[in-house]
Chain A
């Protein structure tokens, strides 16, 4: 069985799907990514699907699961490079990929990850600095 490679680039795991995946290959990728997130402590995952000429409900579900699992492991997933015809087909199929962040290409995906990580850290700082304000607002 083929395997989709997972590359570590700085704080990001990059997956570029270059093959028409059998279902088992997609499930293997899901497992490999979870393992690599834990092993590397990366906070961002980019999945480049620009080479995919279709995304059916199985691959769509796999992408959604990868996004959920990485979130639980404190990593954000961005799916990049979806072809226009694939986007049209996915919507008509009934799959809107809720909860999946997307960007047009790898570069914009990296920017999106950097920004959302920054926002998260700023939010954390805010919570720690003003415990009283938080207590008042919830009482």
Chain B
């Protein structure tokens, strides 16, 4: 079961700030611990920036989710950019094609409970992350 999500465009720097703020609001609403809120907002910031910078812009959907035992937040980052050719490489700490620190993908994966990438060269990239309340 899941509620209706919030859909946010990601086409400017300011949109990345809005994604952070929306994820923060959802995190507070489902009562994630302060450290988990901080981890989820940080992961969302990294992935939304990638959607903007590498994906050429796209969309983020934040949804409150619920399983039998607990509540959580699911966030989907989708773009129709170039896709990621070598996923293993992209997920390696320190690997960057854009002069960054190369910690966005690998770091975000460590900060959340579930992390899924669906990417196809020439078609785009969709990343789904979930964080559950403890």
Interface residue ranges, A against B (CB under 8 Å): 20-24, 53-58, 60-61, 83-86, 88-89, 92-95
Contact = CB atoms under 8 A, between A and B. Distances in A.
B111 A93 contact: yes
Nearest to A60: B101
Interface in B23-78: 24, 34-35, 37-39, 41-42, 45-46, 49
A23 B16 contact: yes
B110 A93 contact: yes
B45 A54 contact: yes
A23 B110 contact: no
B20 A94 contact: no
B100 A61 contact: yes
Contacts, number: 72
Interface of B: 13-14, 16-17, 20-21, 24, 34-35, 37-39, 41-42, 45-46, 49, 93, 100-101, 103-104, 106-108, 110-111
Given A20-B20, A53-B41, A85-B35, 16 more contacts: A22-B14, A53-B24, A56-B45, A56-B46, A57-B46, A58-B45, A58-B49, A85-B38, A88-B35, A88-B38, A88-B39, A89-B111, A93-B46, A93-B108, A93-B110, A94-B106
Given A20-B21, A56-B46, A86-B38, A95 B13 contact: no
B45 A92 contact: no
B107 A92 contact: yes
Contact of B17 (A20, A53, A88, A89): A20
B46 to A, nearest CB: 6
16 contacts: A22-B13, A23-B13, A53-B38, A56-B46, A57-B107, A58-B49, A58-B100, A86-B38, A89-B38, A89-B42, A92-B107, A93-B103, A93-B111, A94-B103, A94-B106, A94-B110
B17 A95 contact: no
Nearest to A92: B110
Nearest to A55: B42
Q: 3 tightest CB-CB pairs across the interface, nearest first?
A: A93-B107, A22-B13, A85-B38
Contacts of B103: 57, 93-95
B101 A95 contact: yes
B101 to A, nearest CB: 5
A58 to B, nearest CB: 6
Contacts of B108: 93
